[in-house]
Chains A and B, each alone.
Chain A
C-alpha cells in the first residue's frame, strides 16, 4: 500500500504548508456549498449511458460499460492552533470501457455532451482494436446478468458535507488543544471526507446508481525532549470508515478497552477524537522515557487496529488474483500463493485462521451494492481453518481459475481511470467462544501487546514482513507490566499465521481501514477495511529499532 501522499500531508516531516493554491489535474476546487448540490438526474445519466453503449456497439464493441462519476472531496488540515488548509474538490466525467476483437479498450472524458461521449466510446473501441494486434490472451468475461434500474447508498446517518466547515475545523483544533494541554509539543490533525456518486451501465442491461460515502479523521502527536534531542510520536487510533459524520459522535459502547494495565482504548463504529488526542499526548510522553525492548522471541497480542494492516499486507494482497497471475509483476509484485502453490495444500495458517472477503459489511470502506463492472457484491471465504480455498477475482479472471462468476471486487478511483481488480474487505473471523482481551493476555508468559499500526514493509511476493505499531506493552506471567519502545517484529507470512493461537470473540471485533491503498501503473488508490478481534500469535521474532547516529 502507498500512504506516501497521506504522510506528506499530515506527517511530521512535511516542511511546506499544504494549500491547494496550485492547479490540480485531479479535479476542480469548488465552493463548499457546491458539495451539497445534487448531481445529474438519474434519467439524464441513463440517457448519456445509452449514448455511450450504442456508440461503442456501433463501432464494433462486443461489450461496453460506462461509469458516469462525480467525486466530491473535502479535506481540512490543522496544526496546533491554526487551520492550515481546506480544500473542496469536485471531479466529474465519464469512463468508457469496451471489448473489441477480444481486447479491452478504455477512454475517458469530462466533455459530457452526447458528441463528446460518443467520441470517447469510439476512441475506446479504436484503442481496443489497435491493441488487439499484440493481444495473445483474448478476454473472456464471466457471465453477468443485467439488473435493470437499481440503486444503492451508504447507510449514513449524517452527510459530513452538511456539517459546517467551522464546526469540523473547531473539532480538530479542540483535539489539538487536548493534545498540547497534555504535553504534546506538536500536533497535526486532518479530516478527509469523500462522496462518490457513481452511475454504471453496461451492455448486459444494468443501470446502477450508487451514492458512496467515506470519512477519515486522524492526527499525529509529537513530544520533543529538547535536552536529550529525543522525540517520539503517536498517531491517532481512529480508522477511516464507510460512514457519515456520525462516526465523530462518540458512543460509550464503541470504546474498546485494551488489556488491564495497558491504558489503550480502541474504537469501533464511533470515535472520540478528544479522548484519543489526550491519551496520545500522555502515551507519547511516556514513550520518551520508557524501556527499550530486549530483542527476542515473544508471544504477541495484537489489537485490531494493528492486526488489520498485517491482514492487509499478508493475506489481502497475496490473494488478489491479478497479482497471482503476474499482471502486477513490474510494480506491486506477484504472490507466493500461486495456483501451483495452492495445489500443494500447504497450510496458510493454523486452524484458528478463517479469513473472509466481502464488500458488504456495514460501515466498512469496501461496502457497495455493486462493483465497477456491475456485479452484485457478496461475502466469500479465502482461508478456511488455515487452508487457502479461494482468491479475489473479477469477471475476466474467473475463468482462469475454473469459476464462472466474479467476486464483485472491481474498482476504479475515478472516471478518468480504468477499473481493475482491487482488494475487498478482508477480515479475520473472531472466536466463536466467548473470550476477553484479559483472558487472552492471561495465558501469555512472556509477550508484548501492540496497539495501532505503525511502520510496515513486506516483500513483493508477501513472505517476509516487518511491522511496528503505535504503543507497546510488556506482558509477563499473564499481566501487562510496563510500556516498551523501539519494537518491531519480523516474520514470514506462513509462520506468522501458523502461530495464530486464536482471537477474542465478536464483542471485540472492529475495523482497521486504509484510505489510500495503491496499486497499478499509473497508480490508483482504493479504500478498504479489515475486521478482526484482538488475537494472539506465539513465538514471533521481535527486533529493537533504536540506533545511534553521529
Chain B
C-alpha cells in the first residue's frame, strides 16, 4: 500500500477533492517503503523497516487555511479529513503571506526509479560484505545502510496534478584499527542499489584507517588543502557547500540578514562573489543525480544556474517573496551540481607540492552568519602531502573558514562525484585556515 502508482494516487486525490466545499483545496499523498541495517564492532546492532503512506488536505477560505491528515483511506475517513481541514481553516487567522494555489503545471520527467529492490536479504548481505572484510583484516567496522522507494502526489482544485516516484540508498562506514589509533571513512548514495559496492567502499575506509595510524602533530595555520567530496557535502548535517547553497535565499538577503545582503540595502545577485571557475547549478534531469520534478508547493523544478563563472546568477524566491518583488518564484531543488575538471583526488595529490588531504569534516556549525564563517574538524583520515605524494598521517585539526573565502582561493577543481544527491568535485584550496589541533582519532 505504501507506494501508489500515479493512477492510483491521482484517483484517490480526485475523490478527496470532490468532498471539498472550500474556496481552494489541495490534497497530497506521500508514501515510503524503506529498510535499514546498522552495525558496529563488526556485528549487527539494529535493523528496521518502515512502510507508510499519509494524506494531507489543505482547505482554504479566502486567506484562511487549515490542514488535516490521515493514513486510512476509506470514504468515511477521507470525508472526515476534508471536513476537519475546513473546520480548522474557518477558525484560522488570515495569512498575510497568502498566495493562491498553483494551477495546472508542466513537469519534467527525471530518470525513473531503480529496478532492483533493496530487500532485507540484500541489506544483510551488503552489511555482511563490509563486516567480513574488516573481521578478516582485524579491523573494526561500524556502518549504516538505509534505502527504499518513495512517492509524492499532489492534486488541487485549480487543476494541478503532480506525481513522482524515486528510489535512493545511502551507505556509510567507519573503519577503525583495534587499538583505536587509526580511523577511516567512506560514504556513497545511489539510485539503484545494484550499483552499491559496500565491499569496495569498506576497503577504501580500511585503507584510510590503516594509513592514519601514528598521526603526527603539525602547527595549526593556513595550508593548501585537498578537500575530498565528503569534506564538502554531507547529507545529514551542515556542510561547507550545502550551507552555502541553501543560504542563497532572496528574502533573508533582502531583509538584511544574510551574507548575500548588499550594503545599503537589497541583495548581491549578479555580483561576482567567487573564483571564476566556480559553477553551481541544479538539474532534475541529470542522469547521475536525478532530482525532484516539483517542490512542496507543486512548483516545477527546472535546470537553474545558481553560480556561473563565480557570479551569483539566482537566489531562491519563495512564491510569496517572488510575488512581492515581481519576479518568478524558484522551485527549491533537491540537490545541486558543482562542475569540475577531470582530475581524480589522486591526481590532485600528484600535483601538490605541500598540502593536506582531508577525508571528511565533522560537526560544522555557523560561527557568524554575516560572513558565513564556519567551524568544524577534520576526521577519519587526514594526511600531509609533499612532492605529489602522501607522506604521513597528521592529527586532526579544527578549522575556522568561510566557504565564500574558500571559493575565492581555488587552486584546482577535480572530477565531480555523487554525494548526498549532489555532484561534488574534490577541491584544492590555498590558505585554508586551521586554528587548533585535536587529539581525536
Interface of A with B (CB < 8 Å)?
2, 4, 12-17, 19-25, 28-31, 82-83, 104, 106-107, 110, 127, 130-131, 134-137, 185-186, 222, 224, 226-233, 325-331, 333-334, 336, 338, 416, 418, 420, 455-464, 466, 468, 486, 488, 490, 492, 521-523, 541, 543, 545-550
Contacts and interface: CB of A to CB of B under 8 A. Distances in A.
Contacts of A107: 48
Interface centre among A22, A82, A110, A550, by most chain B C-beta atoms within 10 angstroms, is A22
Interface stretch (B160-168, B258-266, B410-418): B258-266
A490 B38 CA distance: 34
Interface centre among B41, B46, B237, B246, by most chain A C-beta atoms within 10 angstroms, is B46
Interface string B216-259: 00000000000000000000111000000011011110011111
B264 A226 contact: yes
Contacts of B46: 104, 106, 418, 420
Interface in B386-408: 396, 398, 400, 402, 404-405, 408
4 nearest CB pairs, A to B: A224-B256, A229-B263, A464-B438, A15-B249
Nearest to B330: A15
B296 A22 contact: yes
Nearest to B143: A330
Interface in B1-43: 26, 28-30, 32, 36, 38, 40-43
B390 to A, nearest CB: 22
B17 to A, nearest CB: 15
Contacts of A17: 97, 318, 320
B306 to A, nearest CB: 14
Contacts of B173: 330
A521 B262 contact: no
B43 A28 contact: no
A523 B127 CA distance: 19
A327 B40 contact: yes
Given A131-B47, A226-B256, A522-B36, 5 more contacts: A12-B257, A16-B318, A418-B48, A492-B439, A522-B146
B281 interface: no
A548 B238 CA distance: 22
7 contacts: A15-B250, A130-B120, A136-B41, A230-B370, A463-B438, A466-B400, A522-B48
B114 interface: no
A231 B369 CA distance: 9
Contacts of A134: 43-44, 124, 127-128, 131
B257 A460 contact: no
Nearest to A86: B92
B201 to A, nearest CB: 12
Given A21-B58, A185-B256, A336 B41 contact: no
B367 A468 contact: yes
A127 B48 CA distance: 9
A548 B408 CA distance: 13
Given A16-B332, A418-B46, A31 B87 contact: yes
B185 to A, nearest CB: 8
A455 B238 CA distance: 13
A457 B377 contact: yes
B203 interface: no
A466 B440 contact: no
Contacts of B371: 546-549
Contact of A329 (B32, B71, B140, B372): B140
A17 B173 CA distance: 36
Nearest to A226: B265
A25 B43 contact: no
Contact of A543 (B97, B257, B435, B439): B435
Interface of B: 26, 28-30, 32, 36, 38, 40-48, 50, 52, 54-56, 58, 65, 67-71, 84, 87-88, 93, 95-97, 120, 124, 127-128, 131, 140, 142-144, 146, 172-174, 176, 180, 183, 236-238, 246-247, 249-252, 255-259, 261-265, 273, 296, 316, 318, 320-321, 332, 362-373, 375-377, 379, 396, 398, 400, 402, 404-405, 408, 435-441
Nearest to B437: A464
Contacts of A543: 400, 435
B30 A22 contact: yes
Contacts of B372: 549
A131 B121 CA distance: 11
Given A330-B143, A455-B367, A21 B256 contact: no
Contacts of A468: 367
Interface centre among B50, B379, B438, B441, by most chain A C-beta atoms within 10 angstroms, is B438
A135 B54 contact: no
Contacts of B400: 466, 543, 545
A488 B142 CA distance: 33
A29 B56 contact: yes
Contact of A22 (B56, B96, B264): B56
Given A231-B256, A462-B440, A543-B435, A329 B142 contact: yes
Interface centre among B93, B252, B364, by most chain A C-beta atoms within 10 angstroms, is B252
A24 B69 contact: yes
B142 A12 contact: no
A416 B51 CA distance: 11
Contacts of B373: 545, 547
Interface centre among A131, A231, A330, A463, by most chain B C-beta atoms within 10 angstroms, is A330
B134 to A, nearest CB: 12
A330 B141 CA distance: 8
A545 B435 contact: no
A546 B67 CA distance: 44
A328 B142 CA distance: 8
A252 to B, nearest CB: 34
Nearest to A82: B96
Contacts of B128: 134
A137 B257 contact: no
B43 A136 contact: yes
Contact of B369 (A130, A233, A327): A233
A327 B41 contact: yes
A55 B386 CA distance: 64
B187 to A, nearest CB: 10
A334 B396 CA distance: 15
Contacts of B365: 455-457
A325 B41 contact: yes
Contacts of A29: 56, 67-69
Contact of A549 (B97, B246, B405): B405
A328 B143 CA distance: 9
A222 B255 CA distance: 10
Interface centre among A19, A21, A541, by most chain B C-beta atoms within 10 angstroms, is A21
B40 A461 contact: no
Contacts of A231: 256-257, 261, 369-370
Nearest to A523: B236
Contacts of A24: 54, 56, 69
Given A19-B65, A134-B43, A455-B365, A338 B180 contact: yes
B174 A329 contact: yes
Given A543-B435, A545-B400, A23 B30 contact: yes
Nearest to B154: A22
Contacts of B398: 457, 459, 464, 466, 490
A110 B51 CA distance: 11
A22 B28 contact: yes
B142 A25 contact: no
A457 B364 contact: yes
